Structure 1
């Protein structure tokens, strides 16, 4: 049986609800000035924007306009180009800030005698291209077509590798989790069997009292772009100051109690695919995305592995809905007569349909609209048709299902590893903050 990616044309993912209210400026309720400067400050000379262009010299390392343009192009590509000129100007400032942090991370790693072999970067770059089903040469052309360059993406990969390696040497050895702490977590998990657990992604932006309003406004703009379809993992890589930025902000599976109250409360009210934020947390603001949710130590039928046959019928170009409807109605009724996957070949021949076999597909990985249908489907039955006249009409026939094993308590090593990662993440933020404070940065 040949394997293939199931084509789910026309299935629309759940939209992200509006989470951000309009921000108002009210001097009467403004917080007290943390520097004690009073509220009657007068600027004695105008600021000339031309003095501070989007280039910088960071401890002697130059970041050029081209560097910013090429990295910005990757962000724009992840957003489908749906960004205004005004927002693009703001993004340039943020991209420059990210490039400065990236440069500082590479420099700090080098100061600790950590270097990244270009061959390692090339291997990671090739793996990134493989995710798009591109050879390295084809991936190069894809990146250039976006207006960026392979060198820009490879530098980002180098920065992520250098920072992770630095943390593993300078931070992780000094982070410890005791057996008692691990046992307490395991005991709480056992006591909370059946409680909700969430697969969460996060973008964290650090803020100080002096930069709070600026960072909040930037976080709100990021949320607006995410609501318009921007890629959360891509934005997390570019903007997030947490160590999870390297993996697109993915926090993995967590329980609400493991997060600060400011994050736990909205998380309990969210559904898969929804956003929350910006949410004030210690040291800055977080933006949350709920990827999925499940119950602790409880088997989820969506974790079943299924074998499917996808049957697809197509229509001539420019077929309108009225013309396609009779065929769709007949196809829908005929699907109800299927009695097992053994009849799919004859059924497909009758309808001149294409058939794609897929094995070991997890129901959870399918679009949310299809998951409950497949959970309730019996072997040999077909889903209702889905799709559209342009991309064709599809139906999935269930040929086999391997139900998931009963959930067990994670091992002590797994719990310890997760707790260690959380503590390393916190120390990494502080480490980068200290590096920034001591840096010499000249803007041109």
Structure 2
């Protein structure tokens, strides 16, 4: 089932482009079975000008303008810290944005045909939540977007499209999709039999390749890896470039065991830790980039299943703080907070530093970033993490006030199994639905 996410979760598409791989010349006997009537020695007549990217189109009579495309491109730059791309990569990304706008237009049109309307209050509320992420009011965020070459209208249209497609899937797909008891029972049985085995929550970006093209595709994959290591969104890159069916959900494979993976991926997964990125890895039919979201042992208690009580002490940096000054302030902050002896002393130390304190109970350790999980696992109650933060924001520490670790793990939840199977089926049907809309569309490129 499609879910509405913060807009830059799906606006922050890939910041590098995959270079197209040229088709290989093959003999008649080597033509792959594509179910198309294509001769082995293909001769192309005429030129390819009709297929060249053009900056506007009408989709079933509704216009997508060059301005629409450029405003979406500006959103991508905002979401990727104003990253500038080489000209060839930017052009490839612009083509993909154009394709996404066509899909969005088709989704909104289909929802309208089904008499689905979106309450503008929902759209405005989502826009306000996004503005809050940037510590701005909606009015300030509108001005900020305009200064970057985009607009509030472009963001709201994306939000509107997500809501429209979500409502349409609820009515036309989810309502007619069922999961049988036998399917749920089969998953339950396999889970019980796998108790104690390693299980991995993985995300994947998969690129197809032949033996002749695998080297070039791997080089392109390496560019994506470098961009991800520079802070790019894995989910956004997967949605944009992965050629697997999981692209629609940001490359998320869910929880899998080694036996469900190709050997090369299984070997890598066994060595990976949560948050780690690996690739490109050669797999059957292509190459993959893997992200270890999490790992666990099936139906086995794990220290990271702990529920924590925490205090966060935060010191904001003055506007314009340099990296060097931030490091100096962080060092002083670390020295002052290292001596905290229990949560009862945290407030007094924070007051001396001019820092703020927030107390939170019932925090699942798995909700926290992987580096903090690794630190908190080894802390005793009353101890403090090392400082963390950013130069343009400030620095914080967490004080561990309490930890509740489950001694046993409950049996698989039947309802959760059913919901997961239902979501998988809905996503597959949603892909086919959009494919059919594309096939029936009348698109005029101008």
Fold shared, TM-score > 0.5 on shorter chain: yes
SS in 1 for 2:311: strand
Matches within 5 A, 1:28-427: 32=31, 34=34, 35=36, 37-38=38-39, 40-48=41-49, 52-80=53-81, 81-201=83-203, 220=221, 225-235=227-237, 249=250, 251=252, 253-256=254-257, 261=262, 265=266, 267-268=269-270, 270-273=272-275, 274=277, 288-302=290-304, 303-310=306-313, 332=335, 338-344=340-346, 352=353, 354=355, 356-360=357-361, 361-384=363-386, 395-404=397-406, 406-427=408-429
Per-residue deviation at 1:58?
A: 0.9
> Contact 2:384/2:398 (CA < 8 Å) preserved in 1?
yes
Give the 3 Å change call, closer, same or farther, for CA 324–225 of structure 1 in structure 2: closer
Per-residue deviation at 1:61?
A: 1.0
Give the 3 Å change call, closer, same or farther, for CA 137–217 of structure 1 in structure 2: farther
User: For the residues of structure 2 that align with 1:140 and 1:231, how far apart are their CA atoms?
Assistant: 23
Per-residue deviation at 1:84?
A: 1.8
Per-residue deviation at 1:347?
A: 5.0
Equivalent pairs, count: 415
Per-residue deviation at 1:195?
A: 2.8
User: For the residues of structure 2 that align with 1:395 and 1:162, how far apart are their CA atoms?
Assistant: 41
> Contact 1:57/1:63 (CA < 8 Å) preserved in 2?
yes
> Contact 2:54/2:445 (CA < 8 Å) preserved in 1?
yes
Larger mean CA deviation between 406-415 and 37-46 belongs to 37-46
> Contact 2:199/2:255 (CA < 8 Å) preserved in 1?
yes
Per-residue deviation at 1:193?
A: 2.3
SS in 1 for 2:129: helix
Per-residue deviation at 1:434?
A: 1.6
Gaps of 5+ in 2: 1-17
Per-residue deviation at 1:82?
A: 3.9
Q: CA RMSD in A?
A: 4.7
Q: Are residues 1:433 and 2:432 paired?
A: no
> Contact 1:256/1:268 (CA < 8 Å) preserved in 2?
no
1:16-46 deviation digits (Å, cap 9, x = unpaired)? xxxx999898657996265565565454444
1:176-202 deviation digits (Å, cap 9, x = unpaired)? 211111112112212222333344445
> Contact 1:79/1:225 (CA < 8 Å) preserved in 2?
no
> Contact 2:71/2:151 (CA < 8 Å) preserved in 1?
yes
> Contact 1:198/1:255 (CA < 8 Å) preserved in 2?
yes
> Contact 1:308/1:359 (CA < 8 Å) preserved in 2?
yes
Identify the structure with bigger relative contact order (alpha carbons < 8 Å, sequence gap 6+). Answer: 1
User: For the residues of structure 2 that align with 1:407 and 1:57, how far apart are their CA atoms?
Assistant: 55
TM-score of the superposition, structure 2-length normalised?
A: 0.74
> Contact 1:256/1:264 (CA < 8 Å) preserved in 2?
no
1:323-376 deviation digits (Å, cap 9, x = unpaired)? 969x959975x86654333344555677x4635333234433444333233222
Gaps of 5+ in 1: 1-19
Per-residue deviation at 1:239?
A: 6.2
Give the 3 Å change call, closer, same or farther, for CA 365–120 of structure 1 in structure 2: closer
> Contact 2:203/2:254 (CA < 8 Å) preserved in 1?
no
Per-residue deviation at 1:262?
A: 8.7
Give the 3 Å change call, closer, same or farther, for CA 406–154 of structure 1 in structure 2: farther
> Contact 1:275/1:288 (CA < 8 Å) preserved in 2?
yes
Give the 3 Å change call, closer, same or farther, for CA 397–208 of structure 1 in structure 2: closer
User: For the residues of structure 2 that align with 1:120 and 1:331, how far apart are their CA atoms?
Assistant: 43
SS in 2 for 1:96: helix
Larger mean CA deviation between 42-51 and 396-405 belongs to 42-51
SS in 2 for 1:102: helix
